[in-house]
A = this chain, B = another copy of it.
Amino acid sequence: MKTLDSKELFYAFSADAKPLMTVAQGESFALETRDCFSNQLCSDEDTVDTLDWNDINPATGPVEIQGVRTGDIVRFDIEKLEMTGKSVMITLPGSGALGGISQTTTRVLDNEDGVLTLPTEKGVLKLPLKPMIGVIGVSPAEGSIPTGTPDTHGGNMDCTKIGQGASLFLKAAVDGAMFGCGDVHALMGDGEVLVCGAETPARVTVSARAIAARELPTPFLETEDQYIAIASAETVDKATEDATENMFRFLTDIAGLSEGDAGRLMTLVGNVMICQIVDPQKTARFEFPKAVLAELGFAGIE
C-alpha cells in the first residue's frame, strides 16, 4: 500500500501545495501521523515550556487524488485508524475554556487494549478509547490556512465522529484535492475544553473518490447511523447556524424533502452539536439519523 511516513508533513493547507504522493481514486493509501505536539513530549517531565512551537499540529501529506478536478466533491473513506504510540495530554494556564487551570503539566498515558489508562489523585481510571482524527482536509482555493484552523476546507475540526468507518466529504478547491491529516486523538469529548484530547501518533488508512452529488454542502460526514453537516466560524453561534443551514440544504436539495418536512424532522430528531470551542475558529455540527431518511426512501449519497 502506498504510504507516507510521519516526516512527510506540512503545517498549512495551501492552494499551491505540491503532492508528496499521488494515488488513484478508490485506491487505499496510508498516512502515518504525529501527535499534535509533533511527538515532542515523551515523558511527564517534558513540559510545554520546552516545545518548539513552530512544530505544532503537523499533518501528513499532501496526497494528490488522480483525476479529481476543482469543484468535485470527494468522498474520503476512513478505512482504518490505528494508534502507533502512547497518548499525551497537557494543561496550560490561560489556554482552552477552563479559567481554573493554574498549573502547567504533561501526562503521558498508556492506550493499550482499547482503554486509556488515566491515573488521578483518587484512583486509576480505564477509559474506553474512541479514536478520531482532529485535523483532516484539502487545499483551499487560494492562500494557505494553518493546520490548527478549521474552515470549509476541513482542517482542525476536532469532530469526535471522524473515526474508523466514517466517510468525510470535502470539496476539491484545486485539481487533485491535496489531502492531508494528523492530530489523532485516542479519546476526546465534544468541546475539547483543555485544547487537547489524548493526543496520539497514528496510522490512518484512507481511500478517496469523486462523487456525483455536486450540490452536497461540505464538510459533510456519514457515519454508521448519522448524516452530519459540519461548519466552522468565528463564533459558536455562527457555526451552529451554518451547520443547521447546511443540513437543511442537504435534506431539501439532496434527500428531496419538502421544506416543511425537513424543518419538522430537524427540530424533532436532528441535533445541533458542538465539535470544539477552543480553536482559532469554533466548530459545530448538525446530526440527522440515517434511519429516518431510509424510511422515506432515500438511497444514500451517490
A89 at interface, CB cutoff 8 A? yes
Contact in complex: A120, B257 (CB < 8 Å) = yes
What are 15 A-B pairs with beta-carbon distances under 8 A? A89-B264, A96-B263, A98-B244, A98-B262, A100-B252, A101-B259, A102-B259, A103-B259, A105-B260, A118-B268, A122-B296, A127-B269, A190-B272, A193-B272, A273-B274
Interface residues of A (CB under 8 A from B): 89, 91, 96-103, 105, 107, 116, 118, 120-123, 125, 127, 187-198, 235-237, 240-241, 244-245, 248-249, 252, 256-274, 277, 282, 284, 286, 292, 295-297
Residues of chain B within 8 A (CB-CB) of A97 are 240-241, 244-245
Give the residue name and chain of the B residue nearest to A284 (CB).
B274
> Given contacts A122-B296, A240-B236, A261-B120, is CB(A266)–CB(B194) below 8 Å?
yes
Contact in complex: B264, A194 (CB < 8 Å) = yes
Contact in complex: A190, B295 (CB < 8 Å) = no
Contact in complex: A296, B125 (CB < 8 Å) = yes
Q: How many copies does the complex hold?
A: 2
- Residue from B105, B261, B263, B272 in contact with A274 in the complex, judged by beta carbons closer than 8 Å: B272
Contact in complex: A193, B244 (CB < 8 Å) = yes
Contact in complex: A189, B269 (CB < 8 Å) = yes
Contact in complex: B267, A193 (CB < 8 Å) = yes
Measured CA separation A190–B274 after assembly (Å): 11
Contact in complex: A297, B261 (CB < 8 Å) = no
